[in-house]
Structure 1
Amino acid sequence: MNEALRRAMADARLTDDQLAERCGVDIKTVGRWITQAGRVPRARHRWAACEALGEDEAVLWPEAARKAVKIGPDREIVSVYPYRSGCPASLWRSLITNATEDLTFAGYTNYFLWLEQARFGTALRRKAAQGCRIRFLVGDPDSDLTRARERDEAVPLTLSTRIRVTLAELEKIKAQPGIEARFSGGHAHLSVFRFDDDMIVTPLLTHRVGHDAPTLHLRRRQDDGLFDRFASHVAELWESGSPVWQGDAHG
């Protein structure tokens, strides 16, 4: 019996058929995961189960975790997605929910967050009220760089429109202490989203919009690793950015 899996399902109040649906497998398969302690699901099914249960792979299937242990610089890479749209919305939600100290959204528009995350503004207010620092880096909708990228993307929903949607949403929550926003052009082709010691990074490809970009989920494991390099990049952009709310203490 895989007692760790059974307990995690009980804690999450998920039945066999509910977990099976979340993982895209048959209910009998989940039954075998529980009753056969040595049975290890395929990687994508393990990851889906861990996400659904809010538990680490090393707890549910320690044997698989030991085999997958990385010791080089790539140990900070949790998962890779060929497209940002393939990164589950539930992962974003759990990262936002679990962060307690630092939420940084350094996407050029950040538009998709308001679109894909239900009651996103309310969640940000709550996190800020709990003491979490929340920062947004956005592109200037009227800049030459934005216009150049709009020509490159050539899509009906323009970059400047998407930025203005984010700015309008931020305007609604700017009175909440702990929420800040700045303009920057230095991340026009690289989006970095930080959630304490987790990070999602999307390098944008030419003629492609953000949801079409390859995406990395990173977790900090070492000094001066991938995580720290991207965090330093964002910190530098923040220091050189200009305030979104002129004359406001947030800037």
Structure 2
Amino acid sequence: MNEALRRALLQAHLTDRQLAERCGVDIKTVGRWITETGRVPHARHRWAVCEALGEDEAVLWPTAARKAIKVGPDREVVSVYPYRSGCPASLWRSLITKAERELTFAGYTNYFLWLEQARFGTALQRKAAQGCRVRFLLGSPDSDLTRSRERDEDAALTLSTRIRVTLAELEKIRRQPGIDARFSDGHAHLSVFRFDDDMIVTPLLTHSVGHDAPTLHLRRHQDDGMFDRFASHVEELWGRGNPVWESSGNG
């Protein structure tokens, strides 16, 4: 029996039938994936299962993952998505849930997280209380760069409004030690979200909004690799950033 798959299915609160529908297979096929030891689905079905359950292929089917393992610098690239909106919300939730040391949200507004992640603020408070460092790096709602990007986006819900929504949500949880936030204009065209040794990176394209940005899921496997380079970028911006709360003792 594939115990890892069975546990992941339970944790995702999905039935065999629901998983079958998401993967486009018969329910009996899902049953065989679970009960038959050593049975490995086709690659497209493995990827669909991983997206549906928010779990890594290496956990569910380690043998298949080892056969496909990369040895070059690109081994830090777990998945790619042409659009951030195509990156499953379940993956974000899984990465947030599993993080123990660090959660860094360096998006210019971070607005979408409050919409797509149920009880996001509560989850952040719980993580911080458990000793996880939680940081937000935001664009300033009143900066010239923000106004320039608003003209470029020409979106009904302006950039400054989305930033202020995030600020209002952060205000509700700011008293929890371990949660901190800073302003920076240095990441206007590149968002980086870190979850311990996992990372989601979205480079913003011209005349597009965040959910249309191409997206990379990275996992750290080496020194001075892609993960470390993006992490260093965020750390430099954080060091130069201005505190959102002047009297904050967090972080």
Per-residue Cα deviation, 1:195-250 (whole angstroms, up to 9, x for no partner):
00000000000000000000000000000000000000000000000000123323
Over the matched positions of the two proteins, sequence identity in percent amounts to: 81
In the alignment of these two chains, the number of paired residues is 248
Q: Distance in 2 between matches of 1:120 and 1:147?
A: 28
Per-residue Cα deviation, 1:94-146 (whole angstroms, up to 9, x for no partner):
10010011000000000000011011011111110111000000000000000
For 1:1-251, what aligned pairs fall within 5 Å after superposition?
3-4=1-2, 6=3, 8-9=5-6, 12-13=9-10, 15-34=15-34, 39-50=39-50, 52=52, 56-250=56-250
Contact kept, 8 Å, 1:111 with 1:166, in 2: the verdict is: yes
Contact kept, 8 Å, 2:199 with 2:218, in 1: the verdict is: yes
- Are the structure 2 counterparts of residues 140 and 54 from structure 1 closer, same or farther at C-alpha, using a change threshold of 3 Å? closer
Contact kept, 8 Å, 2:108 with 2:139, in 1: the verdict is: yes
Which deviates further from its counterpart, 113-122 or 24-33?
A: 24-33
Gaps of 5+ in 1: none
Cα deviation for residue 23 of structure 1 reads: 3.0
Query: 3-state DSSP class of the match of 1:104?
Result: strand
Q: TM-score, normalised by structure 2?
A: 0.91
Query: 3-state DSSP class of the match of 1:235?
Result: helix
Cα deviation for residue 50 of structure 1 reads: 3.6
- Are the structure 2 counterparts of residues 147 and 56 from structure 1 closer, same or farther at C-alpha, using a change threshold of 3 Å? closer
Gaps of 5+ in 2: none
Cα deviation for residue 27 of structure 1 reads: 1.1
- The letter of the residue matching 1:123 is A
Contact kept, 8 Å, 2:138 with 2:184, in 1: the verdict is: yes
Contact kept, 8 Å, 1:8 with 1:55, in 2: the verdict is: no
Which deviates further from its counterpart, 12-21 or 173-182?
A: 12-21
- The letter of the residue matching 1:202 is T
Superposed CA RMSD: 2.0
- The letter of the residue matching 2:5 is A
- The letter of the residue matching 1:18 is Q
Which deviates further from its counterpart, 87-96 or 44-53?
A: 44-53
Per-residue Cα deviation, 1:146-200 (whole angstroms, up to 9, x for no partner):
0000011011100000000000001111111000000000000000000000000
- Are the structure 2 counterparts of residues 18 and 74 from structure 1 closer, same or farther at C-alpha, using a change threshold of 3 Å? same
Cα deviation for residue 85 of structure 1 reads: 0.2
Which deviates further from its counterpart, 24-33 or 108-117?
A: 24-33
Query: 3-state DSSP class of the match of 2:104?
Result: strand
- Are the structure 2 counterparts of residues 23 and 176 from structure 1 closer, same or farther at C-alpha, using a change threshold of 3 Å? same
Per-residue Cα deviation, 1:47-91 (whole angstroms, up to 9, x for no partner):
332455565423543442133110000000000000000000010
- Are the structure 2 counterparts of residues 111 and 56 from structure 1 closer, same or farther at C-alpha, using a change threshold of 3 Å? closer
Contact kept, 8 Å, 2:4 with 2:60, in 1: the verdict is: no
Q: Distance in 2 between matches of 1:11 and 1:119?
A: 21
- Are the structure 2 counterparts of residues 80 and 135 from structure 1 closer, same or farther at C-alpha, using a change threshold of 3 Å? same
Cα deviation for residue 30 of structure 1 reads: 1.6
